[in-house]
Every structure is written in structure tokens, then in C-alpha cells.
Amino acid sequence: MDQPKANLVPGPTVVPQYLQERYSNTFYGSGDLQKECLDSYNDCCTQLEGLIGFQAAKAQGGEIVIMSGEGMVGLWGGLKSVIPWPFQYSKETTADGGVVTKLVEVEGGERKFRVLTVGNGVYGCGMLDMVVGLRYPNLEVRAVDSAWDRPVDVEKAVEVIADWKPDLVTSLLGSQKAFSLEPSLGIVTVSAKAWKQIEKVNYGGYDALLPFKSFQKSGVFPYTPLWSALDAMQFQLKTVYGAHNELAPQVYKRHEEVAQYCRERVKKMGLKLWWDSDDGKYADLNSASVTAIRVPENTTWEELDQKLRKEGVVFGGSYGQTANALFRIGHMGTQADLKTVTYALDVLEKIISQK
């Protein structure tokens, strides 16, 4: 497969060469039998706690859980761990012939489940419409930005929680996003209050959070850990953010600068950002990691995407109700590189100027 010159899909991001070599050249034994795996897991948790300001929650009994699998394992494992089970899945055909899947609680009938997630700004750039309108219309989702590309707005998160009273609050991270690892780990923050609910529900599936509450005592993971991914994350955290997160301000600055450059270039081309308004009311919804742009009226996303790919540029499209309305430029992790983003925007400008 030929690699694009600029892969700016909002995750997975390009895995840097030094991590590719680490994945392929290191042999990992059984994580349950060798203490080094648990040490790597705990070291990652400790650094993540400092990065997101989780120490106070940790002192009260909260924990960070790192699960094997793509980031959504944390979302669905979290939902099933805190909301009484079982559920049934029901499928419905939409007016346009599409199919949506709903979670239906066996006892009590269908209901809305509220999820507040701290993510890579994806909901602030049009993704919220995708999540609500795609496969799970009975999920209500709200979000605040994560600490991986900008500081967490803790006050905003607390305000939303107090006002909205969600069923689940999760700091959800997929390792393939701003960390630029393979899509192999899902990271979830669990508060002391959440642990009490998790113990009450007592969900015991493969994606359950409950087994992570006690595995430290035995040193035996709930399932075979993906040691290579944990090792890569441990190395990446120290390389990018510093041994004590002292480089985090530089990471935030780099993301903000590239994001601002991207937005300004897009506007100069005459294109509209997804959250554009005359009064600037939604300016604070702009993300440091993703820019969402309205598809120009004189073309379609499919046509634009084909032309971009011929020039070695790959952006992200959209789904559900916004499938043909917007496209997304990722600039997180290794993508937060001014040279790469400049090349991609030069190509975009050349294409739209030909119309």
C-alpha cells in the first residue's frame, strides 16, 4: 500500500519510526508472569494522572484503567459497567434506508443514556451530530476537551456534570489519537463514586471495568495484557511529554499553533468552518486537534476526496447526518506538524481554485 504524503485523518495518526521499531524489535513475554509489565502499566497510569490532574481523585479512591483494544472498548465497557444490565439491541430502518442500532434496557423499556466524555475535541467539530445520528440515537453525548492536546477545562466539566447529571463520565482516549500509537489501548478514568456503582452492577464481561479494581493485589491482569502497547505508551509519554510532564506546555502550544494556522488558511480560501457564525458565538468550540470544514457547495465530498488522494492527501469525511456536509482535518500527535499541514492545505487550495 502506497503511503500518502499527508495523512490527516483524525486518527489513527502516523506512528513515528522509533515506535515502529520498538513494536517490531522487542520481544515481550507473559505480562502476568513478568513484573515489568505491571510496572509499565503503573508507570503509565502515574504519568497520566499528572497530565490530567487526576491526583486528587486518586487520593479519594479513583483510578485510571488502561484496557487492551481500540478506545471504544472504554466507552462501551464503561456503559455496561455502570448501567444495570442486560440490554437488548434493536435495529430500525431510517427514512433514507439506513439502519440504526439502539440499546434497549430489558426492564424499563427504551431510555436515553447520558455520556459525558473528555476526548480529543472531536465533538467540538461536528462529531457530536455524527454520534447522535449514526448508530446509537439513544445515546446523549456531551464532551469537553482532553489533556492530550490542550489543558482540561475542569470547571466546564464540573459545570456540565452538575447541570446535566450524566449516567457515565469518562475520560476516554484511544491510543491512536494524540499519542500516535497503534489503535491498541483504551484509557478510562474511574472515580471512587463510579467504583461503588460498578461494584453494585457487577458486570463481568470481557470489557468490564470491575476486574481492574482488584488485579493489582495479585498482579494478574483481567486478561492477557498487550505489553508491547503499554511499553510503547510508557516510552511515548516520556518522549513527548517529558518524564514529569514538563514538556506538556510545548505540546499544547504546538497543537494550538498548527490548529490556528489551519483555521486561518481555510478561511482565506473562502471555505467555512463547521462552527462559523457571524457573531463568533461558537468560536470556543474550535478544537486544537481537529478542524471541521463545510464541503463547498460546488462539489461533493466524494469528488473532493478523490482529487485530494491523487495528490497524496487524505482527510477525514463524516458520517450520519453530516456525511456529505463536512470533512475533517486532523492535526493531533504526529499530525501537529506545520510542514505536513501546509502541504495538505496547499493541495486543498489548488483543487478548490480550479472550480
Domain positions in the chain = 6-15+247-353, 17-241
Q: Classify residue 123 by burial, with Cβ atoms within 10 Å: 0-12, 13-18, 19+.
A: buried
Extract the C-alpha cell encoding 135.
448508530
pLDDT at 302: 96
| Lowest-confidence pick of 23-27, 29-33, 142-146 | 142-146
Q: Is residue 75 predicted with pLDDT exceeding 70? A: yes
Nearest of 89, 201, 173 to residue 139 by alpha carbon: 89
**C-alpha cell recorded at residue 107:** 426492564
CA distance 187 to 207: 12
Burial 143-179 (b: 16+ CB within 10 A, else e): bbbbbbbbebbeeebeebeeeeebbbbbbbbbbbbbb
Which pLDDT band holds residue 350 (cuts at 50, 70, 90)?
A: very high
pLDDT-based confidence at 247, cuts 50/70/90? Answer: very high
Domain 17-241 falls in which CATH fold?
A: Aspartate Aminotransferase; domain 2 (3.40.640)
pLDDT for 129 equals 39
Q: In the chain, where does DSSP find H-type helix?
A: 17-25, 35-52, 55-59, 72-82, 127-133, 154-164, 192-201, 215-218, 227-236, 248-268, 301-310, 338-353
pLDDT tens readout for residues 200-217: 889 888 999 999 999 998
C-alpha cell at 128: 457530536
Q: Give the mean model confidence (pLDDT) for residues 314-326.
A: 85
- Write the burial class of residue 247 (CB in 10 Å: 0-12 exposed, 13-18 middle, 19+ buried): middle
Q: Which of 102-111, 143-152, 178-187 has the lowest mean pLDDT?
A: 102-111
| pTM above threshold 0.85 | no
The answer to whether 68 touches 225, Cβ cutoff 8 Å, is: yes
| Average pLDDT of the residues of the chain | 82
Instruction: Write the CA distances from 206 to 196, 223, 322, integer angstroms.
Output: 19, 8, 33
pLDDT of residue 116: 63
Question: How many helices (DSSP H) and strands (DSSP E) are in the chain?
Answer: 12, 12
Please report the pLDDT score of residue 124 as a whole number.
40
| pLDDT score at 139 | 57
The Cα-based distances of 322 to 12, 133, 239, 281, 295 in angstroms read 20, 9, 37, 21, 10
Q: Is 64 helix (H, G, I), strand (E, B) or coil?
A: strand
pLDDT (tens digit, 9 = 90+) per residue, 252-283? 999 999 999 999 999 999 999 987 776 667 67
Domain 6-15+247-353 is in which class?
alpha beta
| Nearest CA among 165, 148, 145 for reference residue 156 | 145
Q: Indicate if the pLDDT at residue 158 is higher than 80.
A: no
Task: Determine the pLDDT at residue 128.
Answer: 41
Q: Write down the pLDDT at residue 83.
A: 76
